[in-house]
Homo-oligomer: A and B are copies of this chain.
């Protein structure tokens, strides 16, 4: 694969970005060295500078390419569950205990957030992404409300922000103390914000 120069170049770029995502998540943005990232991508540090110019350039490119399929993947898996509590449980599990090797995307998200608080460029980009996520969630919940599955006690335009906030905050506490912040807590919170009236039986 990757016969032409352009293809090889694109392949190297992808490898570097993927390695950077994994390394940043594992060791932190500061803790991850250019050499380590390049090694993971089976390249050398020189290639990083040829493609991105600097470590910051690499990070901004990563932030740009970082398609957060969370909302998509989450809603996709949610659709498979028949009952509402089952759907909410699937949503929570995707956050708390990611199934695939996508286990590191949550960690990377926190790394990027902390970086963004100190760099205006990254902050603007990340702010855009979170706006998109909120909008996606809001639209989805609007449909649920319209179909009568839920009766949220708040307006649709704030529901996205509240759900995202609750999931992030619960996930952070869950990481510190998995037993204390379990599925039962998450389901209670989601049900309260969404106005799920039926008894919240857990579907396992």
A interface vs B, CB < 8 Å? 28, 30-31, 107, 110-111, 113-114, 116-118, 123, 126-127, 130-131, 134, 152-155, 158, 161-162, 164-170, 172-173, 175-177, 180-181, 184-185, 188-189, 191-193
Contacts and interface: CB of A to CB of B under 8 A. Distances in A.
A154 B188 contact: yes
A167 B114 CA distance: 17
A165 B176 contact: no
A127 B176 contact: yes
B114 A177 contact: no
Given A127-B176, A130-B177, A193-B192, A118 B28 contact: yes
A166 B169 contact: yes
Given A114-B114, A130-B177, A169-B169, 4 more contacts: A127-B177, A130-B173, A134-B173, A165-B170
A165 B162 contact: no
What is the count of identical protomers in the complex?
2
Contacts of A134: 173, 180
A192 B189 contact: no
Most buried by B among A107, A123, A126, A170: A170
Contacts of A130: 173, 176-177
Nearest to A165: B169
Contact of A126 (B155, B161, B176, B192): B176
Most buried by B among A152, A173, A191, A193: A173
